[in-house]
Amino acid sequence: EACFRIMKTDFLARPVYVQREDRIKAHFLICFISLLIYRLLEKKMEKKYSVVIAGGGSTFTPGICLLLLDHMDRFPIRKIKFYDNFAERQETIAKACEIYLKENAPEVEFAYTTDPEEAFTDVDFVMCHIRVGLYAMREKDEKIPMKYNVVGQETCGPGGIAYGMRSIGGVIEILDYMEKYSPNAWMLNYSNPAAIVAEATRRLRPDSKILNICDMPIDLEEKMANMVGLKSRKEMSVGYYGLNHFGWWHKIEDKDGNDLMPEIKKHMAANGFADALSGTNQHVEQSWIETFAKAKDVYALDPETIPNTYLKYYLYPDYVVEHTNPEHTRANEVMEHREKNIFTACRKIIEKGTAVDGGFEPDAHAEYIVDLACAIAKNTKEKMLLIVPNEGAVENFDRTAMVEIPCIVGSSGYERICQGSIPQFQKGLMEQQVSVEKLVVDAWITGSYQKLWQAITLSKTVPSARVAKLILDDLIEANKDFWPELK
Ligand code: NAD
Ligand code: G6P
Ligand code: MN
């Protein structure tokens, strides 16, 4: 009304008397409307991202898809695509996600495909979580070493080596598709075994825009935050060094610089990480709870640092073998629970034609992937643990090793945070393990039986070269559709 009165005054160029309050009101109104238009334009012009999830048929895909939708305010998305080389498996997951997206974020374009050109054209981020050989091969990775009383684990020991020999080719292929069809995109890789995959991409694609990351330290940091009464790990500042699934925290402080290690150490000495089970729907089954409890014994070996849970496979292999049922390993548990539940939920959503009450939940544990994408997209300079070439960040360790250390992440990639020199105990273990990882990559590149035999022999989980050879020969037979031919 005030505006109108002023406009009328001006347009008719008649000297109508306008009250002072009217003018003030009019100015406020104009300011408010301008601000609103500015905000709307800003929102409209804000860059929105196109994401492809490689390994679209993964059990983690629905959770990650929902998580992306939950974080659109900080990481806006215009398109989500799924890519997989197994059409049928992906289709079940994709059709259910498509229904969910239509109901919850119809503005986001969605597609799924097995065609690399369609998948990787016009993307800003590739989120890569493939499992070459599926759970059927994970089961063999776990059961073959167990035949010889050796740890059978997805990413550690001979099982991890076998998985690495399958994953390298798959991840390199996806990286090449990305570089061919969207050369400016970034690949965020969490396909396992991340240590071997990272070493392979360092060697074979040194200039690629790939960042390798793992969720285990994140989950453990949440537990430690919980131990000291903090709401989130983001309220802590940490020092950490190691290889993937093979590392230690050497410093944990709150934001005011108070040392939190003494309190965390008390919990570790009493119950490992089992004191602070909390949070997300990942790592909740009994076998994981035992792993969190066993961290007490891993911690006892070096009470100055807090260990990653995966070290139990290297430091207590005899215990692990004794406590593993060789007929029913973690792969069986996952097939019977996570895989079955996810696929059943998807089929139900497809059948009903709606995802309302469909049992889909955002994968809260995977928020780190959004943090990482955001750090690159928005230059947030967030401190995150990444698997990167050492280059002196761990001073007294191989410069060419792929180490897991804190980095600052921004739009041009990462900057390492130097972790200083590490103690003899950790250095010795890491030198042995990094040699295993490097020998696996050598074996894959050159097709060398000898190098792979050396890699398995060198693994701390394996008692002798004789046992290593027996396991290797079984693994070659089981992996003949996946590994390069070894001579
Ligand atoms: P999954 O078997 O359910 O799914 C993997 C998908 O990858 C399958 O649909 C399969 O067809 C597809 N695939 C295999 N090879 C492919 C290729 N060459 N190209 C395209 N697609 C391919 O497996 P999952 O349990 O959901 O795990 C997926 C991956 O994520 C695994 O590597 C797992 O180890 C990893 N993971 C990593 C972390 C971490 O913190 N780093 C956490 C969880 C899972
Ligand atoms: C942790 C690790 C991942 C691994 C997962 C296995 O999150 O960091 O690298 O893939 O555990 O969990 P699962 O439930 O498949 O045994
Ligand atoms: Mn991991």
Let me know: does 434 contact 198? Beta carbons within 8 Å. no
How do residues 410-460 score in pLDDT, each as one tens digit?
999 999 999 999 999 999 999 999 999 999 999 999 999 999 999 999 999
Let me know: does 383 contact 233? Beta carbons within 8 Å. no
Is the minimum distance from the CB of 335 to ligand 1 under 6 angstroms?
Answer: no
Is the minimum distance from the CB of 129 to ligand 1 under 6 angstroms?
Answer: yes
Burial string for 190-226 (b: 16+ CB within 10 Å, else e) reads bbbbbbbbbbbbbbbbeebbbbbbbbbbbbbbbbbbb
Let me know: does 376 contact 407? Beta carbons within 8 Å. no
Q: Which of 64, 134, 283, 340 to mutate to test the pocket of ligand 2 (most atoms within 8 A of CB)?
A: 283
Long-range contacts from 426-430, C-beta under 8 angstroms, 24+ separation: 426/241, 426/242, 426/248, 426/302, 426/305, 427/396, 427/397, 429/246, 429/314, 429/460, 430/242, 430/243, 430/246, 430/397, 430/401
The chain-wide mean pLDDT, for the chain, equals: 94
Which is nearest to 173 in space by CA: 140, 208, 145? 208
Is the minimum distance from the CB of 330 to ligand 2 under 6 angstroms?
Answer: yes
Position in ligand 1 atom list of the atom nearest CA 215: 40
Residue 282's pLDDT is what?
81
Percent of the chain with pLDDT over 70: 94
Is the minimum distance from the CB of 365 to ligand 2 under 6 angstroms?
Answer: no
Q: Cα of 370 to ligand 3 centre, how many Å?
A: 16
How do residues 89-126 score in pLDDT, each as one tens digit?
999 999 999 999 999 999 999 999 999 999 999 999 99
Q: Are strands 186-189 and 236-243 parallel, antiparallel or unpaired?
A: unpaired
Q: Which of 36-40, 244-248, 355-359 has the lowest mean pLDDT?
A: 36-40
User: Hey, what amino acid is at 318?
Assistant: D
CB count within 10 Å of CB 17 equals 7
Q: Which of 52, 53, 58 to mutate to test the pocket of ligand 1 (most atoms within 8 A of CB)?
A: 58
Q: Which ligand has the nearest atom to the CA of 190?
A: 1
Distance (Å, whole) CA 274 – CA 125: 36
Residue 42 has pLDDT above 90, yes or no: no
Q: How far apart are the first and last CA of the chain?
A: 87
User: Residues with Cβ within 5 Å of ion ligand 3?
Assistant: 214, 216
Q: Which ligand has the nearest atom to the CA of 92?
A: 1
Q: How confident is the model at residue 20 (pLDDT cuts 50, 70, 90)?
A: confident
Kind and range of the H or E run holding 413: strand 413-416
Q: Cα of 130 to ligand 1 centre, how many Å?
A: 3
Q: Which residues are annotated as catalytic? A: 215, 310
Total-model pTM: 0.92
Distance (Å, whole) CA 235 – CA 465: 47
Residue 215's pLDDT is what?
96
Residue nearest to ligand 1 atom 15, measured at CA: 132
Which is nearest to 151 in space by CA: 481, 474, 462, 480? 462
Q: How confident is the model at residue 486 (pLDDT cuts 50, 70, 90)?
A: very high
18 against 253, higher pLDDT: 253
Q: Cα of 3 to ligand 3 centre, how many Å?
A: 61
CA separation (Å) from 61 to 128, 148, 350?
Answer: 10, 35, 16
Q: How confident is the model at residue 308 (pLDDT cuts 50, 70, 90)?
A: very high
Residue nearest to ligand 2 atom 2, measured at CA: 216
CB count within 10 Å of CB 242 equals 30
CA separation (Å) from 447 to 194, 199, 218, 438, 472?
Answer: 21, 16, 35, 14, 14
Is the minimum distance from the CB of 130 to ligand 1 under 6 angstroms?
Answer: yes
Instruction: Identify the sign of the CA torsion 268, 270, 272, 277.
Output: negative
DSSP class of residue 175?
H
Distance (Å, whole) CA 164 – CA 443: 11
Q: Which of 134, 214, 387 to mutate to test the pocket of ligand 2 (most atoms within 8 A of CB)?
A: 214
Burial of 61 (0-12, 13-18, 19+ CB in 10 A): buried
Let me know: does 387 contact 359? Beta carbons within 8 Å. no
Let me know: does 133 contact 167? Beta carbons within 8 Å. no
Is the minimum distance from the CB of 454 to ligand 1 under 6 angstroms?
Answer: no
| 39: helix, strand or coil | helix
Is the minimum distance from the CB of 54 to ligand 1 under 6 angstroms?
Answer: yes
Is the minimum distance from the CB of 141 to ligand 2 under 6 angstroms?
Answer: no
Kind and range of the H or E run holding 134: helix 134-147
Let me know: does 99 contact 62? Beta carbons within 8 Å. no
Q: How confident is the model at residue 29 (pLDDT cuts 50, 70, 90)?
A: confident
Q: Cα of 132 to ligand 1 centre, how many Å?
A: 7
Which is nearest to 99 in space by CA: 347, 380, 397? 347
Q: Cα of 370 to ligand 1 centre, how many Å?
A: 18
How do residues 49-91 score in pLDDT, each as one tens digit?
999 999 999 999 999 999 999 999 999 999 999 999 999 999 9
Is the minimum distance from the CB of 387 to ligand 2 under 6 angstroms?
Answer: no
